[in-house]
């Protein structure tokens, strides 16, 4: 089922990624190169470093993706398979770090221009939503989706693929950002999410009553900065009193405060929209305790839950290829003069 082949690249933050999808919607290759080690010592992603690392990595990652795809096709197909076999190039064009997006977009434009094939710009947030299709063939709108990453926190009503209504988003920090900042205050490494969730397993989520901001706001807005400040204040007070920090309890209680608000607002969104399907996307969707809380809530509500595979929660190009596959079928191409955008709604 090779025939149609769409190549995808993603460079919106600190992962350089490439994927290839065929005309039946099968991902033939899905390669991710993370730069995280270059950013970790600065405690966060440094935009200038991200751009430079994308430039260094992108051609190698793209070649690796082509090589990986060769293993999924018949020897006869492989003998004829080359860059010239591609039918379209897709690329994340927004939202993200502008200098990082520019690298993928310039690369995609160059390849599309040289091969004289169409280019398809993809919204990164739509990619995180589509990541739920991997391993969940049954997934279909109408549904409600929560997209939670280092840069975004939003709740979306998906009426149809490509038709989105954002119910609400964060008014300050993103969920992943809060995990990263709390981890930093606890002296843990970057990115903080995996450290917090690992520690939280040994802690008591009810030990410390951290605030559940906006839980009863009656809308779908989120606020994380007050929670972050409450955790940092708690840590500072304990240090001033020379008390030993209950690190596991702090991690578990912080995480529970986040989960409670996320899950309750999602429950309300499901009830109000009448949607019977829920899905989750973005880096924070890898959090095991959050996944479990959603499993419980969806079971209570009689709602079917889709979760992206763990490896597809963070940034990747497979999810970009899945969006591009739909756009290709609809003939929705970009004019090659398009620009990347740092900010963009779903």
Q: Contact residues for ligand KG4 (CB under 6 A)?
A: 13, 149-151, 176-177, 179-180, 191-194, 197, 282-284, 286-287, 314-315
Cβ-based nearer residue to ligand KG4, 181 or 333: 181
Phi and psi torsions of 325, nearest 5°? -60, -45
Cβ-based nearer residue to ligand KG4, 195 or 327: 195
Minimal distance, residue 116 CB to ligand KG4, in Å: 32
Minimal distance, residue 234 CB to ligand KG4, in Å: 19
CB atoms within 10 A of CB 68: 16
Integer Cα distance of 19 and 32 in angstroms = 9
Integer Cα distance of 161 and 137 in angstroms = 14
Minimal distance, residue 23 CB to ligand KG4, in Å: 28
Minimal distance, residue 159 CB to ligand KG4, in Å: 24
Minimal distance, residue 147 CB to ligand KG4, in Å: 9
Check: CB of residue 182 under 8 Å from CB of residue 43. no
Cβ-based nearer residue to ligand KG4, 16 or 149: 149
CB atoms within 10 A of CB 121: 23
Q: What is the DSSP string of 190-250?
A: SSHHHHHHHHHTTS-TTSS----TTTTSSSS-B--HHHHHHHHHHHHHHHHTTPPP-HHHH
Cβ-based nearer residue to ligand KG4, 85 or 255: 255
Cβ-based nearer residue to ligand KG4, 118 or 193: 193
Minimal distance, residue 93 CB to ligand KG4, in Å: 15
The gap from C-alpha 309 to its chain's centroid, in whole angstroms, comes to 12
Minimal distance, residue 228 CB to ligand KG4, in Å: 12
Minimal distance, residue 292 CB to ligand KG4, in Å: 12
Integer Cα distance of 70 and 63 in angstroms = 11
Cβ-based nearer residue to ligand KG4, 85 or 253: 253
Please give the structure tokens belonging to residue 262.
């996320």
Cβ-based nearer residue to ligand KG4, 101 or 286: 286
Residue 130 region, left (φ>0) first, then alpha (ψ -120 to 50), else beta?
Answer: alpha
DSSP state of 297: H
Buried b (16+ CB within 10 A) or exposed e, 13-28: bbbbbbbbbbeebebb
Cβ-based nearer residue to ligand KG4, 30 or 180: 180
Minimal distance, residue 98 CB to ligand KG4, in Å: 14
Cβ-based nearer residue to ligand KG4, 123 or 287: 287
Residue whose C-alpha is closest to residue 86's, from 27, 8, 25, 26 = 8
Integer Cα distance of 324 and 10 in angstroms = 12
Q: Report the Cα–Cα distance between both ends of the chain, in Å, rounded.
A: 31
Q: What is the DSSP string of 18-50?
A: EEEEETTS-EEEEEEEE-HHHHHTTTS--HHHH
């Amino acid at each position: 089922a090779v025939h149609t082949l769409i190549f995808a690249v993603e460079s919106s933050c600190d992962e350089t990624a490439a994927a290839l999808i065929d005309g039946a919607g099968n991902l033939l290759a899905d390669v991710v190169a993370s730069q995280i080690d270059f950013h970790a010592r600065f405690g966060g992603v440094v935009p200038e470093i991200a751009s430079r690392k994308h430039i260094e990595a992108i051609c190698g990652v793209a070649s690796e993706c082509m090589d990986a795809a060769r293993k999924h096709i018949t020897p006869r197909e492989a003998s004829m398979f080359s860059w010239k076999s591609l039918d379209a190039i897709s690329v994340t064009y927004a939202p993200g770090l502008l200098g990082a997006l520019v690298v993928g977009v310039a690369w995609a434009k160059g390849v599309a221009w040289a091969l004289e094939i169409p280019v398809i710009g993809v919204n990164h947030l739509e990619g995180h939503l589509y990541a739920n299709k991997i391993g969940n063939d049954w997934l279909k709108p109408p549904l409600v989706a929560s997209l939670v990453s280092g840069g975004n926190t939003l709740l979306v009503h998906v009426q149809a693929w490509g038709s989105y209504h954002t119910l609400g988003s964060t008014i300050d920090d993103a969920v992943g950002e809060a995990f990263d900042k709390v981890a930093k205050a606890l002296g843990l490494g970057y990115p903080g999410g995996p450290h917090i969730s690992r520690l939280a397993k040994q802690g008591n989520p009810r030990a410390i009553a951290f605030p559940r901001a906006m839980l009863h706001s009656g809308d779908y807005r989120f606020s994380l900065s007050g929670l972050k400040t409450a955790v940092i204040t708690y840590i500072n007070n304990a240090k001033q009193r020379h008390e030993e920090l209950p690190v596991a309890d702090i991690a578990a209680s912080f995480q529970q405060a986040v989960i409670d608000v996320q899950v309750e607002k999602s429950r309300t969104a499901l009830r109000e929209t009448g949607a019977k399907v829920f899905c989750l996307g973005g880096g924070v969707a890898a959090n095991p305790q959050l996944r479990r809380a959603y499993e419980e809530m969806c079971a209570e509500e009689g709602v079917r839950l889709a979760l992206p595979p763990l490896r597809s929660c963070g940034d990747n190009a497979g999810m970009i290829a899945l969006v591009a596959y739909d756009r290709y079928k609809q003939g929705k191409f970009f004019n090659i003069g398009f620009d990347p955008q740092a900010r963009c709604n779903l």
